[in-house]
Structure 1
């Protein structure tokens, strides 16, 4: 299992997508600090469990019994503060509804939400999760499929960081300065100034 995307894999994907390699690396850097796995000895991918998505995926049926896992609106205070803690939250949600829980987490180096498994080319959520556990290359392949949607790839090609941020992370992207972080990371990876 490779835990880090190789320089050649970055170059190949950039060529395939006709996008600046620094753009691709910037997304991984901002989403996961550039790595898709927990620190060794763990072999698990990075995850972030989103309780408001779990609420939506389960129609709120666990809101009363498990308010730390299921709630109607995004709430930063519900995060555990560590990847290991997010795995504990995900495992607890899986005990309630496995498929909904897996679909309610963002995965790997690119933090793609599990409910996007079909867009990423997978038949079901279990295959998506297995790929994210497999290797950095498998995470990159999922991202390659996910990013091809017109709103994403076009914004990335033109380095429209606000447009990309809105399409990738939703309208609340500005709360986390997502677009500014992408622009900064892009320059750090050798991207050209506008």
Structure 2
């Protein structure tokens, strides 16, 4: 299992997207503090309880989602928030998979160095959610998923090519991007990697 990327890997991804290596590295460094794995080798995931509620509702209906919310208020939520240590996020996702529904749980986490949500597996061109998950177990697979995701979203592709970090961050990270200064962090990271 490879957990490191070479300059050639970054160059291939940049070429596929029509952007500079610095742009790809900027997104990677900001999205997951520079790496897609925990110190013990597990893939970095951020489990989102409010997304779990939405996925359960979508798959099983409102009544089931409300029942699970009542039974597991630590694993489902009506609104975003509740972020914890990455170790706990991973364990919460596993618990949600065992106690509620595996596919919903896997789809309710953002994965790897580029923190792409599991529910984007179809958008990224994977045949199943499991194939998406399998790809996250190598740094090269995470990078490939990022390339697939950007290619599938013209608004992100255009913003990355234009180095429009505000547009990119607002689309990629959602409305809370400004609170976390993702656009500023990406712009600064881009410069630190030699981007102009």
Common fold by TM > 0.5: yes
Aligned to 2:105: 101
Aligned to 1:158: 162
Specify which of 46, 49, 54 is matched with residue 48 of structure 1.
46
Residue by residue over 1:22-73, the C-alpha shift from the partner in whole angstroms, topping out at 9 and shown as x without a partner, is 111011100111111111xx33210000011001111233211111111111
Aligned to 2:91: 88
Aligned to 1:18: 18
Residue by residue over 1:117-138, the C-alpha shift from the partner in whole angstroms, topping out at 9 and shown as x without a partner, is 01112111111111112x1011
**How far, CA to CA, are the matches of 1:106 and 1:119 in structure 2?**
14
SS of residue matched to 2:183: helix
Comparing 174-183 with 98-107, which one deviates more in the overlay?
Answer: 174-183
Which consecutive residues of structure 2, in runs of 5 or more, have no partner in the other structure?
58-64
Aligned to 1:176: 180
RMSD: 1.0
Deviation at 1:83, TM superposition (A): 1.7
**How far, CA to CA, are the matches of 1:89 and 1:12 in structure 2?**
35
Count matched residues: 186
CA contact (8 A) 1:152 1:167 kept: yes
CA contact (8 A) 1:114 1:125 kept: yes
**How far, CA to CA, are the matches of 2:134 and 2:183 in structure 1?**
30
**How far, CA to CA, are the matches of 2:123 and 2:188 in structure 1?**
28
Which consecutive residues of structure 1, in runs of 5 or more, have no partner in the other structure?
none
Q: Could you list the runs of 4 or more consecutive aligned residues of structure 1 that deviate by over 2 angstroms after TM superposition?
A: none
Aligned to 2:193: 189
Specify which of 66, 69, 73 is matched with residue 72 of structure 2.
66
Aligned to 1:6: 6
SS of residue matched to 2:3: coil
Deviation at 1:5, TM superposition (A): 1.4
**How far, CA to CA, are the matches of 1:131 and 1:14 in structure 2?**
19
**TM-score under structure 2 length normalisation:** 0.92
CA contact (8 A) 1:156 1:164 kept: yes
**How far, CA to CA, are the matches of 1:87 and 1:35 in structure 2?**
16
